[in-house]
Each structure stands twice: as C-alpha cells, then as structure tokens.
Chains A and B, each alone.
Chain A
C-alpha cells in the first residue's frame, strides 16, 4: 500500500467514530458491505443520478464518433452516392469485395503492408529491450537520466517534422549523401528509387520510437527482486548470465504484452508517416493498404470501394491480435485480458 495514502484513513476514521459511526477498516476494493450490492436500475439511477450525468456526454461522443463509423462500414456492401446518408443507398452484396480481390494495385499494397509491418516487428520491436538493458547497466544516475531525456525527445515530434528531417538528411546535398560521396560512393536519389523506401522508413521509425519504447521495460526492471541477483552472484554467475537468467525472464511479461499489441497494429503501419514520405515513383514499395484506400476513397471518391478495403484491413488486425493473445495465453500464460 502506498505510504502517502496511509495517513488519510486514520484521520477519517477518527472523525467517523467521533460522530458515533461504526469504525471501518479502510477498504479499497470489492463491494462495500454497508450498501446493498444488487440494485435495480431505477434505484441505481436515483441514487447515483449525478454520477450518471457524468456519463452522458462521453457516451454521446462514443456513440457518434466511434460506433456510428463502425456501423458506417456497411457501405462496403452498399452503393454510396455523394449526398446519400452515411449508410449508403442500396445493397450491392459483395460487389466491392470482389472488386478489390481482383485489383492488382490492392494486392501490391497488401504485400507492401505485410513486408513493412513484418520488418517493423522484427527490427523496431526488439531494440527498446536492448536499449533498456544497456541503460540498466549504467551506474551513474545522472548519465542514465541524460541519455533517457535525449532518447525520449523524438517521440514528441510531429510526424510532419520527422518527415521533414528525413527529406533534409537524404536530400541530394544532404548529410547522408555527403557521407556517401566522402566514402567514395555516388550520391543517391533516395526518393526516386523504390529500394530505399523500406530502410528509410525503418530508420526513421527506430529514431523516433526506440527511446520512448524503453520506459515500460525500465519500469519492469525496477520490480525484479534484488535478492535474485545476489543469489546468482553467490552461485558464481557473471553479469551476462545474470542478465540472461534473471533480467530477461523478469521483463518477459512486459515484452509479451507489447508484442501482442504490436502484432495487433501490424496492418496499420505508420499511415501518416508513409503518406508523407511516399510519392508515385516509389509506390511499388511505399504504397500500403491505408494509403491506397486513402487515395481510392478520399482522392478518387470511391467511398464504398475504399470502405471495403478498410473493413478487410480492420478484420485482419482484429484476427491477428485475438490469435496472438490466444497463443500467448496458451503457451506462456500471459494475455491482455
């Protein structure tokens, strides 16, 4: 129990007993015994009417801006004309699904999404673990804090700024090309050549997320019992074996939860960043599902077609997160819920 809250109950209890009320042990969780647990809705609404008024506006928000668009996905199966309701005009069945299944541009975007999402998971996901372990070996508190402060900074940059930095560094006379020519190579037109999009995207992603990604691991590291290290030292384990057998298992639950969440957002790969970085010349690697459906739905106004693609993408995401969670529950016993 947190030390700063222990004082409060005593004070209140003293007041309560002074008024002749029964003294209760402070209780945090579970039903309160002094109140009936089961109440009808009418009783609940009368008793907590003020509390329920707090729910009205947020529930309205969720209904209009979250659940209405979910229902709006029916336009994937209905024809939509400008000016019709958000649910479209008439049923057309699987017309738009058939359309994107036969669309080569969709499949190109689909595989680009899979590759980019997979690379992000393989390259970007493990790096914060490594960085957290490196930070954990630092003894100077000030040095550690400085490194953390610096490495968190990119997280707070707008994606527009990140894209601007990428363009500036990879420009014809930018720093990257200066280094390349200094090493005797040729300058590269990075945004004219599809092969460079993935490395550039991944690098910018690492730059922006690796520091901030360590926070949860560093928190998990503080909870590992110091006695385990002591026991390992007595048994003659060196620092490396301590890391392998104590530290890594200690942060495993955090890693698994983050991995599941990352797998869930696999299909949504940094939409805004990709949109800012891509151009028609490099669509063959840089066009992902979300940017493709943005062009189809907003730029070309094929609302139903783009909705069908979006629904497909969302269903894959949902399937991925549910199966990752189920697998993890069965194999390592950790899950999101």
Chain B
C-alpha cells in the first residue's frame, strides 16, 4: 500500500530474522556457501573499485611508467606536472564553472516545475487530474526523438545558450511521480487545518507542505543535480563555442583527440609527453572528485528516492 514510508523499506536493513540462538545450526554445505558468497562479494567490490584506483594511480604517475605499462594500483614515479597544467588551463576552469552554473540553474528550474506540478497532481479532487497525469506519463513511453528535438531547440534560437541544456530537461517524469506519491501521502489534516486558519493554497504549499517535505526535496535536488552534473550530450549537441562547454565535454574532447595535451598547455612542449600520457586521468579525477567525495553522505537519499518511486509503480 502507498502508506509505506521510506524508512520501512530501507534495503540496508536486513530482514527480521529469527533471533540468533533460535536459528538451527547451518548445514556444512550452507557454511561453505556462505564463505564462497562472501568471497565473491569481496571480489566484486574490488572489481567495482579497480577502475577508480587505476585512474588515481595514473593521474599521479610519471610518463615512463605509464607508457611501459607498469601503473596499476599505486602511482609510480610520483608526478604532479599534469595537475599543474590542467589546473592552470583557463578553459578547464571556464568549463568547470559552466558545469556548476548549468547544474545550479537546471536543478532550480527543475525543482520549481516538478514540485508545483506534483503538488497539484496529488490533489485527488482536482478536476482534469487524470488528464494532467496522462500528459506527463505518456512522454515516458513516447518521445519526439533526437532529431525533432534538435530542430526545435535550434529553431527556438536556444543554441549556444544555457537554456538549450536546462529547458528540454526541466521535468523528469520519474521524479515527478515520486514527488506526487509523496504529496499524496502527506496528511490532509495538516493542510485542512491551515486552510481553516485562512491560508491560501500558496500559503499551505510554501509554509506547510514544503517545509515538511525537506527529506524528499533533498532527494529530488540530488537526483536532478547529479543528472545535470554528469550530462554531456545536450551540451555537445547544442554548444558550438568551447567557452560554453561543461567539463564533461572538455573531457570528451580530450578523449576523442579533438584537444590534446599541447592544446591544453597552449603550445608549451616542455612537458608534452608527460601530459599526453595522463591528462585524461587527471581530468577524469578532477571531474568525479566532487561526486565521489559527497557520495557516502548522499547515497541514502538516492536509495530512499528510488524506494519512494517504486512503492507506487
């Protein structure tokens, strides 16, 4: 039922099991299985983490070790040349700042549209509600496709502006449905009491509902922010001026060889081989750093957000 709250379906919590003393002793086969199981899971964790470790190792290694294939887990020939070069590249900072701007503006607009629409849709007495829900849900199964969207954005003259990235991605229907089911479970009585006290719909929404929905709002902000932070294709498609690229496109162009170490250094060839060998690792490291650092603290919000959506669907 939709009354299940996030806390009750926390997947991190193991199922309530029979108290320890009561559990019958494991068979030998099951004990073997448990050891194998734990080993396999540890192995999986190592495989998941390895690419990250390898990126860090290469980022700090010197060219000789990298090009002879000796860098795997730990940096060899500790070296910061590429960091100095990338961090003193103006374009890197311009693009990094763009990523921050696109993420902040995009998330703000997305939150405004998503919360208001979800709140209105959560009111069961709203006339036309089914139609308004249908308008959103239908777009999950059928969308215009790449080319018509491209033609539209170009025709509207949004190319090379932040709006080409922000506006077409302003509402994620999944997030909308999550918010809607959250608001549906919001106790009517609170809102009714506020209404009796003479608050308008706006007052109820901004002064009662939103302050009491901080947890779900935080989750939605994170969903949108990570999506905007990670996105590259809209920018790749609609931005022609390198000054408008986000850092993901900066990285993509390094990988595709559009820009190279020498472009980054502005033609300074002194450290060219060193830079060529690990400029990608360094840029990757600098791009994922904010997410990896925040990740342990924000992870549970994502999990609860997915749960919230899953309960209804």
Chain A contacts to B: CB under 8 angstroms: 1-2, 4-5, 8-9, 11-13, 15-16, 19, 21, 26-32, 35, 37, 39, 41, 44, 48, 50-52, 54-55, 57-59, 61-62, 64-73, 75, 80, 85-86, 131, 134-139, 141, 143-154, 156-161, 163-165, 167-169, 172-175, 177-178, 207, 211, 214-216, 218-219, 221-224, 226, 230, 233, 238-239, 257, 264, 272, 275-276, 290, 293-294, 297-298, 303, 306-307, 310-311, 313-314, 318, 321, 336
Contact = CB atoms under 8 A, between A and B. Distances in A.
Nearest to B6: A2
A61 B167 contact: yes
A144 to B, nearest CB: 7
A50 B284 contact: no
11 contacts: A27-B188, A28-B185, A35-B125, A54-B119, A61-B171, A69-B152, A70-B144, A131-B44, A139-B17, A159-B230, A239-B27
Interface of B: 3-5, 8-9, 11-18, 24, 27, 29-30, 33-34, 37-38, 40-41, 44-45, 47-52, 54-55, 58, 66-69, 72, 112-114, 116-117, 119-120, 123-128, 132, 135-136, 139, 141-152, 155, 167-168, 170-171, 185, 187-190, 192-193, 196, 200-202, 205, 226, 229-233, 237, 248-249, 251-252, 255, 280-281, 284, 287-288, 291-292, 295-296, 299, 302-303, 306-307, 310, 313
A289 to B, nearest CB: 11
B191 to A, nearest CB: 10
Contacts of B147: 75, 293, 297-298, 303, 306-307, 310
Nearest to B44: A151
Contact of B27 (A5, A19, A238): A238
Nearest to B132: A55
B148 A307 contact: yes
Q: Which 9 A-B pairs have the closest CB atoms?
A: A69-B144, A173-B69, A72-B148, A158-B230, A44-B127, A218-B11, A12-B189, A50-B201, A310-B145
Nearest to A158: B230
A75 B5 CA distance: 47
Most A CB within 10 A of own CB, among B24, B47, B142, B170: B142
